[in-house]
Amino acid sequence: MKLNITEEVQSDINQMINGESLCLKLVYDTDECGCGVNGVPLLVISSGGLPQEEKVEQPEGIPTYIFKDQAVFFDEEMTVKKNNQHYMLTSPNRILNPRLQIIRREWN
């Protein structure tokens, strides 16, 4: 799996991280969405990878991970870009989230 992040978005993420040693996690969030197949993609700023995660190929930027069991909800190649004031997660075939949130959250 490959995730491209545009320079503009990477700059925003760097400001959010503010020099801390953190990573990104591409997450399919199902909280308050009903069942486990109803969810929304999020980009989460968090600390290092967990055993149930795998590294996502990202040409530049900070290390990025995905939960192995959530990979089915994503495409093989995706891009995070900015559309007006919103972030957007797309692939060559579709828009995965037109209003992608980038948040901070910790997992244990």
14 within 8 A of 7, measured Cβ to Cβ = no
Top-confidence residue, 85 or 108 = 85
As a dihedral over the C-alpha atoms of residue 4, residue 9, residue 15, residue 20, rounded to 10 degrees, the angle is: -10
Rounded distance between C-alpha atoms, residue 49 and residue 55, angstroms: 8
Average pLDDT value for the chain: 86
Token couple for 42: 């999020």
Q: Contacts for 4-8 with beta carbons within 8 Å, 24 or more apart?
A: 4/58, 4/59, 4/77, 4/78, 4/79, 4/80, 5/58, 5/60, 5/61, 5/79, 5/80, 6/79, 6/80, 6/81, 6/82, 8/81, 8/82
pLDDT digits over 3-22, tens only?
A: 999 999 999 999 998 888 88
This prediction has a pTM of 0.85
pLDDT at residue 80 tops 60: yes
